[in-house]
């Protein structure tokens, strides 16, 4: 377990997305896991067992708060109530990291339970930067912005995704979260090189790396279509892409996400151990 003094930063070590069914084994023997991530929207209440368990875990582990519902890429203003609840959570938990997605999920007072894509234009760039400035001012700390998994590309986009994210980081001071499974999913669906994407990505801005499982399907033309499901183990090509990334970036905090069909603790910890092995292969 981590020393309490290190809880203000994520270690360059394996972490996992925390699930309540793993509370007892994690507190008894976390294995290779050195930090935990929670989804912000699951802990915006005022009390009860979820918050009690979270306070207990924060005594031993650096924490990362991952938002999934702020709709940073949306055309509407950020929801003031959501921002207030998020500020309260970040205020008392004092996590080492807060992150959100380059995506939108709300429009015209409607909420869509998904992370939806947006075109990469000068207009959307300015809107997202304004939203991130507002968010960072509200929670009083810089955030990390995650690259999405993509199933389509917009004809009106004038920026590549890595350049778009780099420019957002330059204008707002936010860091970036690099999900290598998302890169692999997007590269397969949109037919580009995942290694080329990593080569173009501003790795010096990356504060976390994520991994997760995906489902395999095919589109209407019989071509491979990958779905970012977080419901199974990480596949070997994504582990290889992690090795490729770490060889260039150096050691980073690496998180294994498994949000659906959640496995037992030994299975998830084995995935974290594989991330630990990848970090040990990083050149000094």
Residue pair 3/9 in contact (Cβ under 8 Å)? The answer is no
Q: How far apart are CA 71 and CA 116, in angstroms?
A: 9
pLDDT at residue 7 in the model? 57
Distance CA 255, CA 266 (A): 16
Torsions phi, psi for 235 (to 5 deg)? -85, 160
pLDDT digits (tens, 9 = 90+) for 57-83: 999 999 999 999 999 999 999 999 999
The CA-based angle 7-213-150, given to 5 degrees, is 100
pLDDT tens per residue across span 96-121: 999 999 999 888 778 877 888 999 99
Closest CA to 228 of 243, 220, 241, 238: 238
Q: How far apart are CA 4 and CA 59, in angstroms?
A: 7
What are the two backbone dihedrals, phi and then psi, of residue 211, each rounded to the nearest 5 degrees?
-135, 150
| Eight-state DSSP code of residue 180 | H
List CB contacts of 71: < 8 A, sequence separation 6 or more: 78, 79, 103, 104, 105, 106
Give the pLDDT of residue 67.
94
Per-residue pLDDT of the chain (284 residues; tens, 9 = 90+): 334 344 578 999 999 999 999 999 999 999 999 999 999 999 998 889 999 999 999 999 999 999 999 999 999 999 999 999 999 999 999 999 999 999 998 887 788 778 889 999 999 999 999 999 999 999 999 999 999 999 999 999 999 999 999 999 999 999 999 999 999 999 999 999 999 999 999 999 999 999 999 999 998 889 999 999 999 999 999 999 999 999 999 999 999 999 999 999 999 999 999 999 999 999 76
Predicted confidence at residue 8, as pLDDT, reads 77
**Would you state the CATH architecture of domain 14-281?**
Alpha-Beta Barrel (3.20)
CA dihedral 189, 180, 128, 45 (to 10 degrees): 110
Start-end of H helices in 140-235:
161-172, 180-190, 194-200
Report if pTM > 0.85.
yes
Q: Is 135 exposed, middle or buried (0-12, 13-18, 19+ CB in 10 A)?
A: buried
pLDDT for 1 equals 34
Q: Are 235 and 213 in contact (CB under 8 A)?
A: yes
pLDDT at residue number 38 = 97
**Interatomic CA distance for residues 112 and 114, integer angstroms:** 6
């Amino acid at each position: 377990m981590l020393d309490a003094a290190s809880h203000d930063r994520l270690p360059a070590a394996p972490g996992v997305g925390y699930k309540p069914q793993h509370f007892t084994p994690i507190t008894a023997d976390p294995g290779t896991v050195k930090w935990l991530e929670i989804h912000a929207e699951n802990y915006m209440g005022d009390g009860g067992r979820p918050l009690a368990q979270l306070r207990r875990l924060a005594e031993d582990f650096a924490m990362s708060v991952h938002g999934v519902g702020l709709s940073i890429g949306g055309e509407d203003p950020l929801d003031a109530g959501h921002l207030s609840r998020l500020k309260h959570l970040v205020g008392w938990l004092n996590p080492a990291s807060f992150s959100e997605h380059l995506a939108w999920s709300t429009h015209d007072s409607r909420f869509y339970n998904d992370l939806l894509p947006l075109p990469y234009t000068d207009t959307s760039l300015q809107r997202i930067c304004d939203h991130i400035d507002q968010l960072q001012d509200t929670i009083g700390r810089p955030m990390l912005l995650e690259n999405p998994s993509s199933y389509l590309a917009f004809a009106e986009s004038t920026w590549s995704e890595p350049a778009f994210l780099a420019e957002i980081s330059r204008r707002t001071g936010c860091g970036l979260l690099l999900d290598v499974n998302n890169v692999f999913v997007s590269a397969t669906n949109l037919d580009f090189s995942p290694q080329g994407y990593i080569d173009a990505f501003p790795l010096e801005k990356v504060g976390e790396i994520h991994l997760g499982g995906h489902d395999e399907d095919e589109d209407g033309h019989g071509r491979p279509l990958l779905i970012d499901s977080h419901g199974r183990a990480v596949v070997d090509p994504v582990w290889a892409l992690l090795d490729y990334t770490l060889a260039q970036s150096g050691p980073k905090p690496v998180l294994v996400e498994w949000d659906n069909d959640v496995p037992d603790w030994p299975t998830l910890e084995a995935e974290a151990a594989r991330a630990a092995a990848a970090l040990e292969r990083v050149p000094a």
